[in-house]
Structure 1
Amino acid sequence: MISGSPDLLPSIELETAAHPTRTIIWMHGLGADGSDFVPVVDELALPSIPAVRFVFPHAPTRPVSINRGMVMRAWYDYDIVDGAKLQENMATLRESERAVEALVNHETQRGVKPENIVLAGFSQGGALALFAGLRYPEKLAGIMALSCYLPAPQTLAEEAHSANFGIPIFMAHGVGDNVIPITLAAASRQQLLGTGYPVEWREYGMAHTVCREEIHDIRNWLQRVLA
């Protein structure tokens, strides 16, 4: 099912059973769209109780500096500065943060409590899940950050909301990732751990993708945080 309203990002929705009481909002990577992770729902094979709604939003299209201004679906614009450092366009990052907040609020209006909502994402979508989830003003169930990093790390201490200081975080990365180096993700993990966040970390022998072993670990983590 494709949903959307003038106030919400268009999204693909799937439910494991009728009347869901849990929601996973799953953001795709740069240049993809909401359909990218739809097949994962069947692979996860989550039990029908409690019923879960998957929401796969489509990012807006925008020029992306790191790709020489090419227009594509992107949660935010960014580039590399000083030869290696990622620099996010904060206006576009905060725009997407507000869009994610609107999706969470929409789920609460449908009867799903924030504490039963997971923010998830792959690559740039995972970075957005971290950025938006750690700043959300009500307790969420968890954040799943796949093959990504913590964007704008210098703003976290000031902007993180106390409601989610103890939020479970699942971070997973491929040791052969040549898009987002695992060293960058590991540095993000260390910052989160140093700030007191409980991070469950997994490494896999893969590149910038998702593997079967990872799907198994995601399933187990989701069952715990959404129990």
Structure 2
Amino acid sequence: MSPLPCVEIEPRSPANAAVIWLHGLGANGHDFEPVVPELHLPESLPVRFIFPHAPELPVTINSGYIMPAWYDILEMNLDRKVDEIQLKTSARNIQDLIDREIERGIDSRRIVIAGFSQGGAVGFEAALSYSKPLAGLLALSTYLATADSIGIHSANRHLPIQIFHGTADEVVPEQLGRKSVTFLRDRGFQPGYQTFPMGHAVCLEEIQAISGWLQQVLA
């Protein structure tokens, strides 16, 4: 099976770290591409950014309209009933991208998984169940959709996790972000959690915080 199509941004010098960043519902791999220069990462930290494109799927909550989606969302409520088979398939596809980065010479412990909204839900599943230790997981305005079924691999039992959320998020309510924090803490993780006065979006202050966190976990 061929890997997901991706947008890739190479650093000026040969990459020794990678960030695989998943977009949200209805977007594509170009969505977070403009964020990269805004991170102002130092030249001493050559990071390859990989932005995969989700497949085109019919989405139930959008009247079956076909759009870029990591999985189908069946009900738009706090319980977020989703197609877990599709979500886990997407997670395996992301793990294939991790494998490819390792084949390209990047140590797994220098690979970060990041995801916004629906992409973040896939990011949780992909990172926590991966069989080699990763550098970190960045969860943006998202939720842990597979909390009842996820198999956390021992290799990532101490994975650094940072969660950011908007206090006025009208799509993924902030309580879902806090619910993810509780789930993780109950299982021994120590996730960072920070909010911003924004809706279902990304703001400049958050981008600055992401930059600091990436420099920390990839130091």
Q: Which stretches in structure 1 are left out of the alignment for 5+ residues?
A: 1-5
Which of 115, 132, 136 is residue 138 of structure 1 equivalent to? 132
Which of 206, 210, 215 is residue 218 of structure 1 equivalent to? 210
* Matched letter for residue 124 of structure 1: Q
Alignment of 1:30-109 (within 5 A): 30-80=25-75, 84-109=78-103
**Structural RMSD (CA):** 1.1
SS of match in other structure, 2:80 = strand
8 Å CA contact 2:166, 2:174 repeated in 1: yes
SS of match in other structure, 1:207 = coil
Alignment of 1:63-212 (within 5 A): 63-80=58-75, 84-156=78-150, 159-212=151-204
Count residues in correspondence: 219
How big is the shift at 1:65? 1.2
Runs of 4+ in 1 over 3 A off after TM superposition: none
8 Å CA contact 2:78, 2:176 repeated in 1: no
SS of match in other structure, 2:210 = helix
Once the two structures are superposed, what CA deviation does each residue of 1:159-203 show, in whole Å capped at 9, x if it has no partner? Answer: 110100100001000000000000111111111111111201000
Once the two structures are superposed, what CA deviation does each residue of 1:70-101 show, in whole Å capped at 9, x if it has no partner? Answer: 100001112227x6421121211111011101
8 Å CA contact 2:124, 2:137 repeated in 1: yes
Which is richer in helix? Answer: 1
Normalised by the size of structure 2, how large is the TM-score? 0.97
SS of match in other structure, 2:5 = strand
Normalised by the size of structure 1, how large is the TM-score? 0.94
Once the two structures are superposed, what CA deviation does each residue of 1:4-27 show, in whole Å capped at 9, x if it has no partner? Answer: xx6111111112222101000000
